[in-house]
Amino acid sequence: MEKYIALLRGVNVSGKNLIKMAELQQLLAASGLSEVRTYIQSGNIVFGAEDQPCEKLAARIATAIETHFGLKVPVVVVKQEELRRIHGYNPFAGKSSIPANRLYFTLLADKPEQAKAASMAEGNYLPEEYVLQDRVVYLCLPGGYGNTRLDNNFLERKLGVQATTRNLATIQKLLGM
């Protein structure tokens, strides 16, 4: 049995795409996932399942949500060990000038095309910084996520893939569950 983490994009934000986490937890358990646990109301799910492609699990969860709640919600799934690696690689961690509450992780549904990644690299986003590594955009946002140009919508447009972002504290909490 593998441990996975599912990250839903855009649920329970500004009164839109309302999903009660307890109901979602029950739905996913009934669909065959094991040890389903959620963290806060923004769509963070830790669960167990047979070893299988993350894309297959993401599609399964998205279909269950659409069928039960009537909502089309993008879902990104990663193995817990992959998230541990992603957390450990963070190029901004440990730099004393950067407060931990200004570090974010944007997980991408797929690896972006090289041409799109190169196009994004041509932009100037200072004082904000980012590092794109495979399916993750590491963000250092001095003004916080609420004021960034590098939000999910921007990254999806520039990179051509679905994205969902979590702060460092959320990633750490999910790894501890």
Tokens encoding 163: 């994205």
Q: Tell me whether the CATH fold assigned to 2-81 matches the one assigned to 84-176.
A: yes
Q: Any idea which architecture 84-176 has in CATH?
A: 2-Layer Sandwich (3.30)
Residue-range domain boundaries for the chain: 2-81, 84-176
Tell me the mean pLDDT in the region 5-20. Answer: 83
CATH topology of domain 2-81: Alpha-Beta Plaits (3.30.70)
Q: With the CA atoms of 140, 175, 87 and 18 taken in that order, what torsion angle do they form, in degrees rounded to the nearest 10?
A: -40
Whether this prediction's pTM lies above 0.75 is answered by yes
- The answer to whether residues 158 and 134 touch, using CB atoms and an 8 Å cutoff, is no
> Over the stretch 21-67, which tens digit does the pLDDT of each residue have?
999 999 999 999 999 999 998 899 999 999 999 999 999 999 999 99
Residues 6+ apart with CB under 8 A from 103: 90, 92, 93, 138, 139, 140, 141, 167, 168
Q: How high is the pLDDT of residue 24?
A: 96
Q: Is the pLDDT of residue 164 over 80?
A: yes
Could you give the CA distance from residue 152 to residue 73 in angstroms, rounded to a whole number? 14
Q: 138 vs 43, 107, 110, 150, 177, CA distance in Å?
A: 20, 9, 15, 11, 22
- The answer to whether residues 33 and 65 touch, using CB atoms and an 8 Å cutoff, is no
Q: How high is the pLDDT of residue 42?
A: 85
Residue 14 banded pLDDT, cuts 50, 70, 90: low
Tokens encoding 109: 């549904």
Q: Is the pLDDT of residue 15 over 80?
A: no
Percentage of the chain beyond pLDDT 90 is: 89
**Across the chain, what does the average pLDDT equal?**
94
Tell me the mean pLDDT in the region 140-162. Answer: 95
Q: Is 39 left (phi over 0), alpha (psi -120 to 50) or beta?
A: beta
**Higher pLDDT residue, 12 or 86?**
86
Q: Is the pLDDT of residue 96 over 80?
A: no
Residue 10 banded pLDDT, cuts 50, 70, 90: confident
